[in-house]
Amino acid sequence: MKRSLFLPLLLTALALVLSGCIGPGYYAESLNGHLNLMAARKDVARLIADPATPGALRGRMQTASAIRQFASDELDLPDNASYRSYVDLGRDYVTIAVFAAPEFALAPLVKCFPVFGCVPYQAFFSLDTARKTASGLREDGLDVHVSGVTAYSTLGFTADPLLSTMFRDDDAYLAALIFHELAHQRLYVKDDSAFNEAFAVAVETSGVRRWLRAADDGEGLRRYEAARARNADFLSLIAQAREELHAVYGGPGTASEKRAGKQAAIERLRQRHRQMRDTRWGGYDGYDAWFEAPINNAKLAATSVYNDLVPAFLRLFDLCGGDYPRFYTAVKRLGALDRSERPQALEAAKACE
């Protein structure tokens, strides 16, 4: 399940509505889904104060409120109305993301929108629409990956609420989502999802560490760092598989031979995961579902979009002395570069300036 994404479809629909030229179908469905969600919001402060609020929900709201204030006070993230209201969705996801990639290539197909640029997925509030879209893409011979999404950002265009799906795990998970989504509001570069998502992951990672230390939660920090280490191992497995698949796709051979090479590389990926799970991870099975489900180019591409540049952003954060305003200024300068120059400039950075 994808934790979060930016929803340009929604923003495009909102922009079209404001200009009086909303189109049918795709845009209208997204706008309707978001407006229904916004209409269901409940103010967090009122939920906390209301004696009728169940104790467990009140406790989660108090924690969420503290995390939200920490985001602005300590991480220099936007101090606005986002994540100060709550919606109980009554389901396991808020939107569905559909990723697609060619059969013999790892680059995801992009969907482009007026004003807000291109992203490597399509997002839907309707599961039926997502499935129909995925089916059509498969019929076109593409690899497709469909994933439920826990949260999304409108970049502050609307006051995005906390969602019940954001409370599916512990408080560190909730803090990570809030910091991640507010990071998108703090800085967004058009047409560069890899840059935007890795930046937001870097903010959430450094932010959760700072929040846990401020709370003197040593045990929580230990669990978080252990999870981060496993995630790094997981990403190394994906990177190795991608290298093998690049060699298959770029090498000689017929389509049938490349399909066989592709399946062999994916099976080796699964085997390496099982070995890592049973040895290095001590039997930890949290990634089993990911590996047991179908694996294809679209699924591998979706993973890479969110993670490839994260280490470089965290290194830049350290170069900025852990100072968030300086870090954001440095990232903004990188974002002003041509897209082709950004990754190299980020990797080559020797100082915050």
How far apart CA 11 and CA 27 sit, in angstroms, is 9
What's the Rg (C-alpha) of the chain? 21
Strand spans (E) along the chain: 2-6, 42-43, 85-87, 95-101, 111-113, 117-119, 122-124, 143-153, 162-163
The domain locations on the chain are 2-193, 220-307
CA dihedral 64, 68, 70, 72 (to 10 degrees): 180
Residue 7: per-residue pLDDT: 53
Residue 151: per-residue pLDDT: 87
**148-185: per-residue pLDDT in tens?**
988 888 888 889 999 999 998 999 999 999 999 999 99
Q: How many CB atoms lie within 10 A of CB 321?
A: 9
Residue 158: per-residue pLDDT: 87
How far apart CA 247 and CA 241 sit, in angstroms, is 10
Sheet with 95-101: list strands edge to edge: 2-6, 143-153, 95-101, 122-124
How far apart CA 228 and CA 289 sit, in angstroms, is 18
**8-17: per-residue pLDDT in tens?**
545 444 443 3
Q: Which residue has the tokens 């079209």?
A: 16
Percent of the chain with pLDDT over 90: 74
Amino acid at 139: E
Would you say the pTM of this structure is higher than 0.75?
A: yes
Task: For residue 160, give Cα distances in angstroms to 39, 42, 86, 199, 225.
Answer: 11, 12, 9, 20, 28
More confident call, 293 vs 8: 293
| Residue 294 predicted with pLDDT over 90 | yes
The closest of 45, 68, 33 to 180, measured between CA atoms, is: 68
| Residue 278 predicted with pLDDT over 90 | yes
The helix (run of H) or strand (run of E) holding residue 336 is none
Residue partners of 276: CB distance under 8 A and separation at least 6? 233, 237
More confident call, 308 vs 71: 71
**238-267: per-residue pLDDT in tens?**
999 999 999 999 999 999 999 999 999 999
How far apart CA 347 and CA 294 sit, in angstroms, is 33
